[in-house]
Chains A and B, each alone.
Chain A
Amino acid sequence: MGLKLSIALLALVAFTTAARAQEKTGDKTSDIVARGEYLARAGDCTACHTAAEGRLFAGARPMPTPFGTIYTSNITPDPETGIGKWSADDFYRTMHNGRFPDGGLIYPAMPFASYTKVTRADSDAIFAYLRSIPPVNQKNKPHELRFPYDNRQLILGWRTLFFSEGEFKPDPGKSAEWNRGAYLVEGLGHCGMCHSPINALGGTSQSDAFKGGLIPMQNWYAPSLTSNREAGLGDWSIKDITDLLQTGVSARGVVYGPMAEVVHNSLQYLDDADTKAMALYLKGIAEASSPPPASSALPNTESSLLISLGKTVYDKNCASCHGTQGEGKPPHWPPLANNQSIEMQSAVNPIRMVLNGGYPPGTKGNPMPYGMPPFAGLLSDNEVAAVVSYIRTAWGNRGTPVSAREANELRSAPLN
Chain B
Amino acid sequence: MFARDAALAALLVCFASFDGAAAQTANQPPDTMAARVEACTPCHGNKGEGTSDVYFPRLAGKPAGYLYNQLLAFRGGRRKYPPMNYLLEFLPDPYLEAMAEYFASEHPPLPQPAPSEVSKDVLAQGELLATSGDANRSIPACVSCHGPGLTGMQPGIPGLLGLRAAYVSAQLGAWRYGTRTAKSPDCMQLVAGHLTEADVTAVAAWLATRPAPANPAPVPKGTYALPFGCGSQPN
Contacts of B90 in A (CB 8 A): 260-261, 263-264, 359-362
Is A293 among interface residues, defined by CB-CB distance under 8 A?
A: no
Residues 43 to 101 of chain B near chain A (Cβ within 8 Å): 43, 53, 76-78, 82-83, 85-92, 94-95, 98
Is A356 among interface residues, defined by CB-CB distance under 8 A?
A: yes
Please encode chain A, from 354 to 384, with 1 for each CB lying within 8 Å of some chain B CB and 0 for all others: 0011111110000111111111111000000
Contacts of B85 in A (CB 8 A): 415-416
A367 touches B94 (CB 8 A): yes
Q: How far is the CA of A264 from the CA of B53 in the complex (A)?
A: 32
B42 touches A373 (CB 8 A): yes
Is A285 among interface residues, defined by CB-CB distance under 8 A?
A: no
B94 touches A375 (CB 8 A): no
Partner of B87, one of A52, A329, A357: A357
Nearest residue in A to B88 (C-beta to C-beta)?
A: A359
Is A53 among interface residues, defined by CB-CB distance under 8 A?
A: yes
Contacts of B77 in A (CB 8 A): 52-53, 416
A371 touches B39 (CB 8 A): yes
Nearest residue in B to A375 (C-beta to C-beta)?
A: B42
Contacts of A370 in B (CB 8 A): 29, 35-36, 38
Is B41 among interface residues, defined by CB-CB distance under 8 A?
A: yes
Q: How far is the CA of A368 from the CA of B35 in the complex (A)?
A: 11
How many residues of chain B are within 8 Å of chain A by beta carbon? 29
Contacts of B198 in A (CB 8 A): none
B98 touches A368 (CB 8 A): yes
Within the complex, the shortest CB–CB distance from A23 to chain B, in Å, comes to 34
Q: What is the total of A-B residue contacts with beta carbons within 8 Å? A: 85
Q: How far is the CA of A90 from the CA of B92 in the complex (A)?
A: 36
Q: How far is the CA of A360 from the CA of B36 in the complex (A)?
A: 11
Contacts of B83 in A (CB 8 A): 356, 374, 376, 415
Contacts of B35 in A (CB 8 A): 370
Is B28 among interface residues, defined by CB-CB distance under 8 A?
A: yes
Is A392 among interface residues, defined by CB-CB distance under 8 A?
A: no
Within the complex, the shortest CB–CB distance from A269 to chain B, in Å, comes to 14
A416 touches B92 (CB 8 A): no
Nearest residue in A to B39 (C-beta to C-beta)?
A: A371
Within the complex, the shortest CB–CB distance from B177 to chain A, in Å, comes to 19
Residues 58 to 72 of chain A near chain B (Cβ within 8 Å): none
Contacts of B95 in A (CB 8 A): 362, 367-369
Most buried by B among A332, A367, A415: A415
Contacts of B89 in A (CB 8 A): 260-261, 416
A377 touches B86 (CB 8 A): no
Q: How far is the CA of A273 from the CA of B35 in the complex (A)?
A: 33
Contacts of A377 in B (CB 8 A): 42-43, 53
Contacts of B235 in A (CB 8 A): none
A358 touches B87 (CB 8 A): yes
Contacts of B76 in A (CB 8 A): 52-53
Nearest residue in B to A379 (C-beta to C-beta)?
A: B42
Q: How far is the CA of A362 from the CA of B87 in the complex (A)?
A: 12
Please encode chain B, from 154 to 188, with 1 for each CB lying within 8 Å of some chain A CB and 0 for all others: 00000000000000000000000000000000000
Q: How far is the CA of A263 from the CA of B91 in the complex (A)?
A: 12
Q: How far is the CA of A359 from the CA of B91 in the complex (A)?
A: 8
Partner of A357, one of B27, B39, B78, B92: B39
B78 touches A374 (CB 8 A): no
Is B37 among interface residues, defined by CB-CB distance under 8 A?
A: yes
Partner of B92, one of A360, A362, A378, A415: A362
Contacts of B43 in A (CB 8 A): 374, 377
Within the complex, the shortest CB–CB distance from B92 to chain A, in Å, comes to 4
Nearest residue in B to A368 (C-beta to C-beta)?
A: B95
Nearest residue in B to A321 (C-beta to C-beta)?
A: B29
Is A210 among interface residues, defined by CB-CB distance under 8 A?
A: no
Nearest residue in B to A255 (C-beta to C-beta)?
A: B90
Partner of B86, one of A53, A264, A415: A415
Within the complex, the shortest CB–CB distance from B23 to chain A, in Å, comes to 12
A362 touches B39 (CB 8 A): no
B91 touches A373 (CB 8 A): no
Contacts of A329 in B (CB 8 A): 27-29
Is A314 among interface residues, defined by CB-CB distance under 8 A?
A: no
B42 touches A371 (CB 8 A): no
Also in contact, A356 and B86, with CB within 8 A (given A371-B38, A372-B39, A373-B39): yes
Contacts of A369 in B (CB 8 A): 36, 91, 95
Contacts of B91 in A (CB 8 A): 359, 361-362, 369
Within the complex, the shortest CB–CB distance from A341 to chain B, in Å, comes to 18
Q: How far is the CA of A69 from the CA of B226 in the complex (A)?
A: 43
Q: How far is the CA of A378 from the CA of B83 in the complex (A)?
A: 14
Partner of A333, one of B29, B42, B82, B86: B29
Also in contact, A373 and B41, with CB within 8 A (given A332-B29, A357-B87, A415-B86): yes
Q: How far is the CA of A374 from the CA of B43 in the complex (A)?
A: 9
Q: Which residues of B contact A (CB under 8 A)?
A: 27-29, 35-43, 53, 76-78, 82-83, 85-92, 94-95, 98
10 pairs from A and B in contact (CB 8 Å cutoff) = A52-B76, A359-B39, A359-B90, A367-B95, A368-B98, A371-B36, A373-B39, A373-B41, A373-B42, A377-B43
Q: Which residues of A contact B (CB under 8 A)?
A: 52-53, 260-261, 263-264, 321, 329, 332-333, 356-362, 367-378, 414-416
Give me 10 other A-B pairs in contact (C-beta within 8 A), A263-B90, A373-B40, A416-B89 excluded: A358-B87, A361-B90, A369-B91, A369-B95, A371-B39, A371-B40, A371-B87, A378-B42, A415-B85, A416-B86
7 closest pairs, A vs B, by CB?
Answer: A371-B39, A361-B90, A415-B82, A415-B86, A264-B90, A53-B76, A362-B92
